[in-house]
């Protein structure tokens, strides 16, 4: 019988597939908001079950920044640019989610036993979820061509890291969590500004069209 923590962890994996795969920007952003809401719920569940008071404060901060502020910012960006659906990803709309989820799960299966050894909270399914969400974010960057989807991918791997932090290092000083969160918000704001600039110069959000520089 699965407990609440495992159900929430599985839900966070499923939402990562949604954020990654949904073509419509608005749906994708809403799914991200749902994912972050689940993350916040996990924070509160952990706080309650493991007597980790810090996590309720993290949960509250994450609610305002990641469930409310970042989705609002991205929705505003989508509205401003008047874009609806993303451009064709690398290897197509059907195959890319399969590749991303397949590899993410495989990597998380391989790594989670090491995490389990040191984690403050030794729960296998949430640890696997943290690695899967992180890897889905990384694959989002690699496989999706849309600048907005790449920002969402950044937000997603950020969620994975926050879940890892909550499980493995919830007793770390608050300044650590605050620092990481501040960086993330600035990163999303800066990436949104650059996405607007990108749209202005390239007439599209498809970053694969930017190939004037050869690396």
Question: Quick one: which of 13, 62, 136, 191 contacts another protein (CB under 8 A)?
Answer: 191
Under rule CB under 8 A, residue 12 binds another protein: no
Backbone angles phi, psi at 149, to 5 degrees: -65, -30
Backbone angles phi, psi at 146, to 5 degrees: -75, 135
Under rule CB under 8 A, residue 157 binds another protein: yes
- Tell me which stretch binds another protein (CB under 8 A): 45-53, 73-81, 97-105, 117-125: 117-125
Question: Quick one: which of 22, 77, 137, 206 contacts another protein (CB under 8 A)?
Answer: 137
Question: Quick one: which of 32, 58, 63, 154 contacts another protein (CB under 8 A)?
Answer: 154
Under rule CB under 8 A, residue 57 binds another protein: no
Compare residues 68 and 161 and give the one whose CB is closer to another protein: 161
Question: Quick one: which of 21, 28, 45, 150 contacts another protein (CB under 8 A)?
Answer: 150
Under rule CB under 8 A, residue 63 binds another protein: no
- Tell me which stretch binds another protein (CB under 8 A): 26-34, 42-50, 80-88, 195-203: 195-203
- Tell me which stretch binds another protein (CB under 8 A): 3-11, 19-27, 74-82, 176-184: 176-184
At its nearest, how many Å lie between another protein and the CB of residue 39? 16
86, 144 in Cβ contact below 8 A? yes
Under rule CB under 8 A, residue 145 binds another protein: no
Cα–Cα separations (whole angstroms), residue 133 to 65, 108, 138, 164, 192: 19, 9, 9, 10, 22
148-167 CB burial, b ≥16 within 10 A, e <16? bbbbbbbbbbbbbbbbbbbb
Residue count at the site for another protein (CB under 8 A)?
A: 45
By CB under 8 A, name the binding residues for another protein.
111, 114-115, 117-120, 134, 137-138, 141, 147, 150, 154, 157-158, 161, 164-165, 168-169, 171-173, 175-176, 179-180, 182-183, 186-187, 190-191, 194, 197-198, 201-202, 207, 210, 212-215
């Amino acid at each position: 019988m699965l407990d609440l923590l495992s159900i929430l962890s599985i839900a966070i994996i499923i939402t990562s597939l949604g954020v990654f795969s949904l073509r419509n920007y608005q749906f994708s952003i809403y799914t991200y908001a749902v994912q972050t809401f689940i993350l916040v719920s996990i924070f509160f569940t952990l706080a309650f079950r493991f007597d980790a008071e810090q996590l309720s404060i993290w949960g509250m901060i994450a609610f305002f920044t990641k469930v409310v502020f970042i989705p609002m910012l991205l929705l505003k960006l989508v509205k401003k640019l008047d874009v609806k659906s993303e451009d064709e990803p690398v290897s197509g709309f059907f195959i890319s989610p399969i590749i991303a989820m397949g590899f993410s799960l495989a990597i998380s299966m391989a790594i989670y036993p090491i995490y389990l050894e040191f984690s403050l909270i030794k729960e296998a399914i949430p640890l696997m979820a943290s690695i899967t969400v992180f890897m889905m974010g990384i694959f989002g960057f690699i496989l999706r061509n849309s600048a907005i989807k790449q920002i969402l991918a950044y937000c997603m791997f950020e969620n994975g890291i926050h879940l890892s932090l909550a499980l493995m290092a919830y007793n770390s000083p608050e300044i650590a969590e605050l620092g990481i969160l501040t960086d993330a918000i600035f990163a999303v704001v800066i990436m949104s500004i650059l996405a607007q600039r990108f749209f202005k110069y390239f007439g599209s959000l498809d970053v694969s069209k930017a190939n004037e520089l050869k690396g």
